[in-house]
Amino acid sequence: MPFDPVPNPFGPLQALRSLQAEFQRLLAEPGRGRSTHLAFALFQKEGSLLLRTPLPSVAAKDVSIEVDGNVLTLSGQYCAEPDEAAAIAHHVERPRGCFSRTLHLPFEVDPARVRARLERGVLEVELPHLQKCAPVKITVQPAGQG
Amino acid sequence: MRRPTPEKPSERARVRPRTDVFETPEALIVVADVPGADHDSVEVTLQEDVLTLRAQPVLRAPEGWQPAGAEFELPEYERSFRVTAEIDRDGLEAGIQDGRLRVVLRKRLPRSSRIEIQAR
């Protein structure tokens, strides 16, 4: 190709492409904010992002979700098997202790509207974009008025 | 526990779930992480001396949302263990909660008999 087309920054798809590129960058950088093996799947719709991660054997009360601007921190603790103390462990593979992962999102999150649910060992967190100001419609006055 | 027919059996990876095995004087306890699975998508069998755990979790994309990248897809889970202890086949228990499958295999305890000493 002799030249690259210049993207229109005001084009209808540009914001979507930018957001998609940011998600790909987040998922492609293995070291960024990844302190454990928590794996994420992301879904999006207008004005909101949905994060899904498997958290088997974790109780809802043991999960902590913190939002600070565009930074999301997910942390918690795996449940210990109640029988462990009185039993001999022959084979141990399941994770123990704490987990944590931080994501730097390409938008600020509205913390008041964050929703999370843990079902069948899979956590889903809905992260709405923060609307800093509602759009205002301005009426153009004809000449000679006001 | 019944096993549903998979929607796309050839496209899903099959992995061994992370599993713990404990033993108490009375039982063997097998605990496996199968996130996304529920009572209807899990199968536990004990055939001869082989315990097999299978799970086919069904987790669809949320309605109205577009995928924006994924580091994981829920696979099918399958794992087998050879059980060396004598198991009471009437004392098998299995339950699933929060994506954790727990199977209890009660041991067949040796019968003890008390022998009375006869006085002469």
* Minimum-distance CB partner of A86 among B24, B31, B99: B24
Between A83 and B17, the more confident residue is: B17
Ranges assigned E (strand) in chain B: 14-15, 19-23, 27-33, 42-47, 50-55, 66-70, 76-82, 87-97, 100-107
Say how far apart CA A4 and CA A58 lie, in whole Å: 49
Do B20 and A92 make contact, defined as CB atoms within 8 angstroms?
yes
Question: Over the stretch A20-78, which tens digit does the pLDDT of each residue have?
Answer: 766 665 555 443 433 357 899 999 999 999 999 999 989 999 999 999 999 999 999 88
What integer pLDDT is reported at residue A74 of this predicted model? 94
* Span B96-118, average pLDDT: 84
Identify from A23, A29, A51, A57 which residue to disrupt to test chain B contact, counting B C-beta atoms within 10 A and taking the largest count: A57
Percent of chain A's residues with pLDDT above 70:
69
Say how far apart CA B66 and CA A43 lie, in whole Å: 5
State which residue of chain A sits closest to B62, comparing Cα positions. Answer: A43
ipTM: 0.78
Say how far apart CA A52 and CA A40 lie, in whole Å: 6
Question: Over the stretch B57-87, which tens digit does the pLDDT of each residue have?
Answer: 988 888 899 999 889 888 999 999 998 878 8
State which residue of chain B sits closest to A86, comparing Cα positions. Answer: B24
Lowest mean pLDDT among A10-19, B36-45, B90-99: A10-19
Contacts of A10 (CB under 8 A, 6+ apart): none
Residue B16 DSSP label:
P
Contacts of A135 (CB under 8 A, 6+ apart): none
